[in-house]
A and B are shown apart, each in its own frame.
Chain A
Amino acid sequence: MDLTARYPLNGHIPQEVRQPQTVEEVAEVLREAARSGWAVVPWGSGAHQGIGHAPTRYDLALDLTRLSRVLRHRPANLTIRVEAGMRLADLNAMLAEHGQWLPLDPPFGERATIGGILATGLSGPLRARYGSARDLLIGIRVALADGTLIQGGGEVVKNVAGYDLPKLFHGSLGTLGVMVEAAFKLWPRPKAEATWAFGFSRMEDALPLTLSMLRHPGFPLAVEVLNARAWEMLRGTLELPEDPGARVWVLVRAGGWPAQVERIGRDAAAAASGAQVKDRLTEETASLLWSRIPDIGFLPSPAPRDGMSVRLGLLPSQLAEGAAALEAAEEIRVVWRAHGTLGLIYAEGRGPMEALLQWADALRSFALAQGGHFTILGGPESAKRAMGLWAPLRPEAEVMRRIKAQLDPEGRLNPGRFGWA
Chain B
Amino acid sequence: MKRAHILQELREIFGPHGVLWEDYHLLLYEYDASIDKGRPDFVVFPTSTEQVAAAVRIANRYGLPIVVRGAGTGLSGGAVADQGGLMIVTTRMRRILQIDAANLRAVVQPGVVNIAISQAASAHGLYFAPDPSSQKACTIGGNIAANSGGPHCLAYGVTTNHVLGLEVVLPDGEVIEVGGAACDWPGYDLTGLMVGSEGTLGIITKAILRLMPTPEAVVTLLAVFDTVDQASEAVSAIIADGTIPGAIEMMDHTAIQAVESAKRCGYPMDAGAVLLIDVEGLPEGLEDLARHIARICEHFDAREVRIATDPAERERLWSGRKGAFGAMGRLAPSYLVQDGVVPRDQLPRVLRQIQEIGQRYGLVIANVFHAGDGNLHPLILFDERDPELTRRAVEAGAEIIRACVEAGGTLTGEHGIGLEKRDLMPLLFSPADLETMARIKAAFNPENCLNPCKMFPSTKMCLETWSRRKARMAEPIRYRAATSPPETEEELWI
Chain A residues close to B by CB (< 8 Å) = 74-79, 99-100, 121, 123, 131-132, 134-135, 144, 148-152, 154-165, 167-168, 170-172, 176, 187-189, 191, 211, 214-219, 257-260, 262-264, 311, 313-317, 339, 342-344, 371-373, 375, 389-390, 394-397, 399-400, 402-403, 405-407, 418
The answer to whether A171 and B188 touch across the interface, beta carbons within 8 angstroms, is: yes
* A217 and B281 in contact, given A77-B239, A158-B373 (Cβ under 8 angstroms): yes
Interface string of B162-185 (1 = CB under 8 A from A): 000000001000101110111111
Q: Is the CB of A371 within 8 A of B180?
A: yes
Q: Supply 12 A–B pairs (Cβ within 8 Å), ascending by A.
A: A79-B343, A121-B184, A131-B157, A156-B342, A159-B341, A160-B412, A217-B213, A373-B185, A395-B177, A396-B178, A403-B440, A406-B439
Size of the chain B interface, CB-CB below 8 angstroms:
91
Asked whether, in the complex, the Cβ of B183 is within 8 Å of the Cβ of A342, the reply is: yes
Query: Cα distance A131–B146 when bound, in Å?
Result: 21
**Residue pair B186, A189 in contact (C-beta under 8 Å):** no
Shortest B481–chain A CB gap in Å is 44
Judge if B370 is at the interface, Cβ distance under 8 Å.
Answer: yes
Residue of B nearest to A311 (CB): B184
Within 8 A of A (CB), among B376-420: 408-417
Contact A373 B186 (CB under 8 A): yes
Inter-subunit contact B197/A163 (CB<8 Å): yes
Binding site for A on B (CB under 8 A): 100, 102-105, 125-126, 146-147, 149, 153, 157-158, 160-161, 170, 174, 176-178, 180-193, 195-197, 201, 213-216, 236, 239-244, 281-282, 284-285, 288-289, 341-345, 370, 373-375, 408-417, 421, 425, 428-430, 432-434, 436-437, 439-444, 455
Given A390-B186, A396-B187: 20 more A-B contacts, CB < 8 Å: A76-B344, A77-B236, A135-B157, A148-B436, A158-B370, A161-B417, A162-B425, A163-B201, A165-B436, A170-B192, A215-B104, A215-B213, A259-B282, A315-B103, A373-B180, A373-B184, A400-B188, A400-B190, A403-B440, A407-B436
Q: How far is the CB of A218 from chain B (nearest CB, A)?
A: 5
Complex Cα–Cα for A233 and B64 (A): 63
Q: Which residues of B contact A76 (CB under 8 A)?
A: 236, 239-240, 344-345
B238 CB, nearest partner CB in chain A, Å: 10
Measured in the bound complex, the distance between the Cα atoms of B431 and A150 in whole Å is 9
With a 10 A CB-CB cut-off, give which of A150, A317, A394 has the most chain B CB atoms: A150
Q: Which 7 A-B pairs have the closest CB atoms?
A: A167-B192, A188-B242, A313-B182, A158-B413, A259-B285, A402-B443, A259-B284
Residue contact A144 to B436, C-beta cutoff 8 Å: yes
Partner of A214, one of B103, B158, B161, B197: B103
CB atoms of A263 and B439 under 8 A apart: no
Instruction: Name A402's closest neighbour in chain B (CB-CB).
Output: B443
Q: For the complex, what is the distance from the CA of A214 to the CA of B126, rounded to whole Å? A: 11
Residues of chain A contacted by B441 (CB below 8 angstroms): 163
Report yes or no: B186 in contact with A389, Cβ–Cβ below 8 A. Answer: yes
> What residues of B have a CB within 8 angstroms of the CB of A171 in the complex?
184, 188-189
Cα separation A142 to B272 with both chains bound (whole Å): 44
The A/B interface has a contact count, at CB < 8 Å, of: 252
Contact A399 B170 (CB under 8 A): yes
CB distance from B320 to the nearest CB of A (A): 22
Q: With A77-B239, A156-B410, A407-B436 as given contacts, are A313 and B160 in contact (CB-CB < 8 Å)? A: no
- Of A163, A172, A344, A394, which contacts B183 at CB under 8 A? A344
CA distance A172 to B192 in the complex (A): 12
Question: Are A162 and B161 touching (Cβ within 8 A)?
Answer: no
CA distance A215 to B121 in the complex (A): 13
Residues of B within 8 A of A144 (CB): 436
Docked pose: A313 CA to B182 CA in angstroms: 5
Whose C-beta in chain B lies nearest to the C-beta of A375? Answer: B186
Q: Are A131 and B161 in contact (CB under 8 A)?
A: yes
Question: A313 contacts which chain B residues (CB < 8 A)?
Answer: 180, 182-186
| Residues in B whose Cβ lies below 8 Å from that of A218 | 281-282
Give chain A nearest CB distance to B180 CB in angstroms: 7
A322 nearest CB across to chain B (Å): 11
Q: Indicate whether A164 sits within 8 Å of B417 (C-beta atoms), given known contacts A342-B183, A399-B190.
A: no
**Contact A157/B436 with A215-B125, A218-B282, A313-B183 known, Cβ cut-off 8 Å:** no
Would A155 and B408 count as touching, CB distance under 8 A?
A: yes
The reply to whether A135 and B374 contact each other, CB–CB distance below 8 Å, is no
Residue pair B181, A315 in contact (C-beta under 8 Å): yes
* CB-based contact B282/A150 at 8 Å: no
CB of A109 to closest CB in B, whole Å: 17
A158 to B342, CA, bound (A): 9
B341: A residues at CB distance < 8 A:
156-159
Q: Which residues on the A side are within 8 Å of B185 (C-beta)?
A: 313, 373
| Chain A residues positioned under 8 Å from B442 (CB to CB) | 402, 406
What A residues does B409 contact at CB under 8 A? 154, 156
A150 to B440, CA, bound (A): 13
CB atoms of B186 and A77 under 8 A apart? no
Contacts of B432 in A (CB 8 A): 148-150
Complex: A414 Cα to B76 Cα, angstroms? 39
Given A162-B429, A217-B216, A314-B182, A258 and B282 contact (CB-CB distance below 8 Å):
no
The residue in A161, A373, A395, A399 that gathers the most chain B C-beta atoms within 10 A of its C-beta is A161
- Indicate whether A399 sits within 8 Å of B425 (C-beta atoms), given known contacts A257-B289, A260-B285: no
Instruction: Judge whether B193 and A163 touch: CB under 8 Å.
Output: yes
Known A-B contacts A131-B161, A313-B182, A344-B183; the reply to A164 vs B439 at CB < 8 A is no
A167 to B244, CA, bound (A): 24
CA distance A405 to B434 in the complex (A): 17
**Bound state CA distance, A305 and B350, in angstroms?**
60
A344 and B149 CA atoms in complex are apart in Å by 27
**Once the chains bind, are A168 and B440 in contact (CB under 8 Å)?**
yes
Residues of A within 8 A of B146 (CB): 160
